[in-house]
Structure formats: C-alpha cells, structure tokens
Structure 1
Amino acid sequence: MNSIESLQWRYAVKKFDENKSLTETQINTLKEAFNLTATSYGLQPIKMVVIQNKEIQQQLVEFSWNQPQVAQASHVLVLCVPKEYTVKDVEIYFSLVKDIRNTPDEILNPFKEMLTNSIASKTQEELSIWNRNQAYIALGNLMTVAANERIDSCPMEGFVPEKYDEVLELDKYGLTSVLVLPVGFRAEDDYMKDLKKVRKKTENMIIDL
C-alpha cells in the first residue's frame, strides 16, 4: 500500500488484540523512526520509554483515564522531555556534529554561538514548551511509520504525567512524560475497526495560492 492508503488504514485503536505482539524487528523499526524524527535544529531534546511489561502497563491504566488500550497493547511508548534543558545540551550536540561530520570549528562556532545564546536567553518554561512541541513531531512520525508497517496505535494526551513519572521512575533520568502511544494490533471486535474515516473534504482543508 502507498502512504495515503496506509493513512486511510490507520485509526486510533480502541481495543488491541492482547494475544498479538510486535516482533523485535517491528519495535526496532519504531525505535529507529523515533531517533530519525526531525527536531528543531536537530537537537533531539526528547527521549522515548518503551514498555513491554504487562504489570507496569496495567498499573498505568489508572493514570490513563482508565483507557484499557494501555494494558492491552503489545508495547507502550512514552515520549518524554528533560525537566531541565541547558546550554550543556547544545555543547553535547555540537560535539556529536564534529565527531560525525568532522566539521571545522570555524564553520561550527557561529551556529553554536547563536544556539547557545538562544537557549541561555530562554526560561525553563519556554524551553519546556519548545521541547514538548518536538515530542508532538515525533508522535506524528511514529504514527505514520507504524501505519506504513501495519502496526496499530492509539495516541494519548489523556493521562496523568506526574503519576507516569512516578511509576516509571523518570526522575532518575531527569525526564517528564508528555505523550503516550500504545502500539500493537487491532482486535477483531474493536467497534471502530470497520467504521468509515470521518474527515472534511480535502478542498476544504487546503488553501492553494
């Protein structure tokens, strides 16, 4: 199937088949897709927790507005951002650029200085909002890649981040949860499975200039 057919196939799964699990190849594809997601300036201020533990998944249902997909899914992907983002993160990024591309300092330094000053001038609240926006980009990318791979998903904003952080012990990583994406395979008796997709007409959504 092509990309449009894959997006037509995709929907927010309401019931996963608990007897089906992603293969190691499939979950590795999603991990690589996350890592290859575009982010602002390529800084990658996001991380992903991959859960394949039914006990933890069941524990998280209570903190997911009781959405059962969290327990049913093969895996649960939790997108996170750092609680604190600093110029040190920019320095780490530019060290990586230099290691991989061997770019001379005279080329890197002006860009590095600009980014360093930009980060230093922002409050942690501003940086948190910026980083959270990157998590949404990653979520969209993961959903599209999953659809192309015929992996079902259900994006979730409806959860209690503080409780997720507590259960997953994200404090020790300096992270906080932002978005949740259970992934797996739709159940045959999911009532949403065969419903027509509801979308406005394309011409009502697009402005051609």
Structure 2
Amino acid sequence: MNTIEQLRWRYATKKFDTTRKLNDDQVAVLKEAFNLTALSFGLQPVKLVIVSDDAKRAELLPHAFDQKQVTEASHLLLFCIETVIDEEFIRCYFDKVKAVRNTSEEILKPYRDFLIADFNKKTSEEIEAWAKNQAYLALGNLLTVCAMEGIDACPMEGFMPEKFDNVLGLGHEGLKSVLIMPVGYRADDDIFSTMEKVRKEISESVIEIK
C-alpha cells in the first residue's frame, strides 16, 4: 500500500454512509494503534472512549453543534485526558516498566525522581495543557492509521467537552474529553471526497538544513 497515496485519499469526512459499519477487527486495530501511540515520557495520560450506541450519540449531537458526523458515522471516538496526573500516576507507570522489562530500581530511580520533581513544579493548568498535547498526538496517529486501513475519519474540535463529559459520565472515570473523531465510511454523495487538497508546496512547508 502506498503511504502517500493513502494520505492523499483521506480527508475530513463530512458525510458518512450510515449503512456501513466498521467490523470488530477494524475497531481492534484502532484500539491497538491508539495504545501504541508515542507519547511524552511514555506516561499515557490519555484514554480513548468509543461510542457506537445510536441513542447515546443522538444525545451528544446537540453538544457537537448538530454536526451530523457524530450520529452518521459507524463509531464516535473521544480522546480524553486523565484529570489527576500526580506522583502516584508517575509511580504506577514506573512499576509497570519494572514489571514488563524487569528493569532494576537503580536504573529507574533517577528518571522517576526527576519526573516526579518536574511535575511537582508544574501548575495544574500546565499539566492539563501537556496532557491535551498528548491527545493531539494520539489523534494524529489514528488519522494516519485510518488512512492506511481505508477507514474514513473526521477530526473535530467543535464540540462542548463538559456537556459530553456529563452525558457519558466521564467525570466519574477521572476523565475530560478533549477531541472527537467520527470514523466509518464516506457517503457516495459527499462532495468533499472529490475535492483537491489545498496545501502549500513542499518547498514552502519544509526547510532542509544540510
């Protein structure tokens, strides 16, 4: 499969085919790809919430400014951040490193202590901003994976996070929604699917220092 060809194929889908659904294997690929996203420090302060229930998505629709992709797509993906990222959160990550890699405490301690001290210096607003950046990284990764898998997607910031959180009870899970992305298959009559991409020339967007 040609990577550039697939990236040219993808676009922010405006109208989905409501008769076509992703199968379990495709959803499993998206979940695995999300979990494999390269994130800062490896801490994974993000979670993916997948909503396929039609009634629940209809309830969310007004809080996404009635953008029909929310209900017409096969699945709705929510990129969420942890509301509590503290010393215990960091220690849990290093406990997992120790368990998976059998890394010695002598090697782990300096880096763990550095991260704990660094995060202790940050305000809650700074930590939340950092976590949101990780959500964008995860979304970008899934956009590319969707393109490679022939899955249509539409990344969206235009929604009311607090309303979504209330409808889905995300606060009880210690989460805040940051981004949403409906996924599925484009409708045959989505005129945006045939439009040429508008991009700068590579010479304008890339600087090479040799």
SS in 1 for 2:19: coil
Measure the CA separation in 1 of the matches of 2:41 and 2:162: 29
1:1-209 matched pairs, under 5 angstroms: 1-209=1-209
Measure the CA separation in 2 of the matches of 1:195 and 1:157: 22
SS in 1 for 2:63: coil
Shift in Å, 1:60:
1.1
Measure the CA separation in 1 of the matches of 2:13 and 2:57: 16
Tell me the amino acid that sits aligned with residue 170 of structure 1.
L
Q: TM-score, normalised by structure 2?
A: 0.98
Tell me the amino acid that sits aligned with residue 116 of structure 1.
I
Shift in Å, 1:101:
0.2
Tell me the amino acid that sits aligned with residue 25 of structure 1.
D
Measure the CA separation in 2 of the matches of 1:107 and 1:85: 23
Shift in Å, 1:19:
0.3
Measure the CA separation in 1 of the matches of 2:2 and 2:115: 38
Measure the CA separation in 1 of the matches of 2:87 and 2:10: 39
SS in 1 for 2:180: strand
Shift in Å, 1:14:
0.4
Shift in Å, 1:83:
1.7
Measure the CA separation in 2 of the matches of 1:171 and 1:110: 33
Tell me the amino acid that sits aligned with residue 127 of structure 2.
L
Shift in Å, 1:189:
0.5
Measure the CA separation in 2 of the matches of 1:171 and 1:13: 29
Shift in Å, 1:103:
0.3
Alignment RMSD (CA, Å): 0.7
Q: TM-score, normalised by structure 1?
A: 0.99
SS in 1 for 2:22: coil
Shift in Å, 1:84:
2.1
**Identity of matched residues, %:** 49
Moved over 4 A (4+): none
Measure the CA separation in 2 of the matches of 1:32 and 1:92: 21
Measure the CA separation in 2 of the matches of 1:203 and 1:54: 45
Single out whichever of 60-69 and 8-17 deviates more from structure 2: 60-69
